[in-house]
Structure 1
Amino acid sequence: MTAFEISDIKHFMNQLLLTSLFDHFLFTEGTISTGVTYTIDGHINDSFYSEADLKELKLQDLDYLPFGQLRSTCFSIIKGKNTPVSFRFVLMLSPENMRHTIERSGSGFTAADVSGMFINLTYKNQKLICTTGISYKLFSTDKTLDYEWDLMVEKFFHQHQIPIEKQI
């Protein structure tokens, strides 16, 4: 796990809420505090969608909704003349991207060993912190995949000109 402070919050928020940059991540949960606090559970409610809808939206094998389908909702809550008091978003790699990431890592792990690879975004006290994390289905002292995931997130931010500072 690594923590990064996002230096240019305005630029990052534009990337997060106004572009498709994070749309391929799954939105597991979120909380946005403005005049009231909104809590969003990213679990897909299967009873809301028909089988045809799930297939058309490519949701049939997912537990969580892609961020791209919640981005406008989050933007609607956040936009306005006042900055939110705080927010917290938990984004997870899609199963397909997780498999690719694990394969590229060169670690001994398989997709069956990992529940999820996460980016946690927390805005509070005018600071935006991103922490990385992996949820394993087994115990291991091998941190190869953790290091690789941290490095991949750092590279992702640099590739998209999102200035970050590692936290100690």
Structure 2
Amino acid sequence: MQEQSLIALLEAMLFAAARPVTVKELSAAAELSEANTELALAELKRQVNNSCRGVLLREVAGGLQFFTRSEYSQYIQRLLQPPEKPRLSQAALETLAIIAYRQPITRMEIESVRGVRVDAVLSTLQERGLITEKGRKDSPGRPIIYGTTTTFLKCLGLNSLEDLPHLPSEETNTHKSPE
């Protein structure tokens, strides 16, 4: 195998491993002597560490591993941060409050309280795991009934629905436990 091909092979194996890899492991995988592997690794290390690449090849934990250069850490952190979910809209918060206090509740019952359609809002709340379908109401058309989830309780820092602030009027039904 030509030297540049061998160096490229070792680079690919180290990149794919994403952990420290010993000379012995690399030699066995490449079907090379350890001496030839060490020579090629020395050249790879020289090429990588003495160039304007975004990575370094370091000896760590008895093997070799690629690391990103420290000067790029802030950009890498930004890339790897999970995207922040947008906050809930006012309509979603109002709908969630209605469900929390009046559950189990149907879409039509929510719409009669809010005075507007809530299909999209219900979908958003379900996607976020804040509400779930609890079953079907025993009435004509057997509409879906909704209730809050344990994710809802966690997000609000509540132990149970009984921890919700009490409404000043008789606007609430008996609280049911989520999921």
**Which TM-score band (shorter chain)?**
under 0.3
Q: Which has the higher strand share?
A: 1
Length-normalised TM-score, structure 2: 0.23
- Please report the TM-score for the alignment, with normalisation by the length of structure 1: 0.23
Return the structure number with greater helix share: 2
Structure of greater Rg: 2
Pick 1 or 2: higher relative contact order, CA cutoff 8 A, min separation 6. 1
